[in-house]
Amino acid sequence: MERKPEWLHVKLATGDSNKKVRQILDRYQLNTVCDEALCPNRGKCFDSLTATFMILGKQCTRNCRFCNVSKGLTEPVDSEEPGHIAFAVKELGLEYVVITSVTRDDLCDYGSFQFKEVIKNIRALNAKTKIEVLIPDFCGDLEALDRVVKENPDVISHNVETVPSLYNEVRPMADYSQSLTVLKNVKSLNNHIFTKSGLMVGLGETKEEMLTVLEDLRYADCDFLTIGQYLAPSRNHISVKEYVHPDTFNWYKEKAYQLGFKYVASAPLVRSSFMAHEAMKSKEIQNG
């Protein structure tokens, strides 16, 4: 694979805001997907006093080959975590917060109760903060999904990640149809909640396959979309097949808007929760 092009180079951030976020995370012993997934934007986000909190421990029960989150023996669910996140949100003064998790197929509720408690605790201390949850598929369990939906977060996100033909290689323990069903079911349970999904490119997908996925997502009534360049966290992960040019990202963005997405972020360094609050500022959302 050729060297990373210049548009993928990121400067490290080490400002006072970055230090403040680190101190708060350490004090409450909280995890972020920013660190665990080695997100290239984490310095910029920390300097902007934002972070995407990752609940339910650091160990994932799935074996996705693109992800840097650890796989292995899972940790007990921390009953103090929801309160700690709520305090951290308050101390950071967040107007918009994203909560995600490792996948916990080992739990009878698949981690949905912890999502519920986190949302409740944040709302109790931060009534005006908008909440986005980036959830796993809960193994398709509708009761688990409904538990989260009933807490009425502003956005429920679930990433399809890649095109169906690459699932066996990239997401061997996931199911494309099930991921689409998660998004459909959110709307069936509460049509007022915005839904969101994310895709990576550079894994060997074709433009035609990508357009089909965009059509599938719109058929599932998905509102928001993110598309970003896949970057291999290590040599042990699936390799990058292509560094997609920014012009192609703009082309995907144009096609997605033509299909009816309310907000689209499509660029090499875009990640599913990066600048997530921007979606709620889009003209279509503001105009109702």
CA distances from 131 to 80, 106, 157, 178, 201 (A): 19, 26, 11, 24, 27
> What pLDDT shows up at residue 283?
58
> What pLDDT shows up at residue 14?
54
> What pLDDT shows up at residue 81?
96
> What pLDDT shows up at residue 163?
97
In sequence order, the β-bridge partners of residue 248 are: none
On whether the 12-286 domain is CATH 2.60.120.260, my answer is no
Show me where the domains of the chain are located: 12-286
Q: What b/e sequence results for 100-113 when a residue is b if at least 16 CB atoms lie within 10 Å of its CB, and e otherwise?
A: bbbbbbebebbbbb
- Which residue stretches of the chain have pLDDT < 70? 1-2, 9-18, 33-51, 66, 68-70, 283-284, 286-288
> What pLDDT shows up at residue 37?
45
Nearest-angstrom CA–CA distance, 78 and 57:
8
> What pLDDT shows up at residue 36?
44
Which among 92, 76, 74, 114 has a CA at the least distance from the CA of 28? 92
pLDDT, tens digit, 9 for 90 and up, residues 123-134: 999 999 999 999
Nearest-angstrom CA–CA distance, 230 and 202:
6
Mind giving me the DSSP string for the chain?
-PPPPGGG------SHHHHHHHHHHHHHT-EEHHHHTT-TTHHHHHHTT--EEEES-SEES---TT--SEESSPPPP-TTHHHHHHHHHHHHT-SEEEEEE---TTSTTTTHHHHHHHHHHHHHH-TT-EEEEE---GGG-HHHHHHHHTT--SEEE---BS-GGGHHHH-TT--HHHHHHHHHHHHHH-TTSEEEEEEEESSS--HHHHHHHHHHHHHTT--EEEEEE---SSTTSPPP-----HHHHHHHHHHHHHHT-SEEEESTT--TTTTGGGGGGSHHHHT-
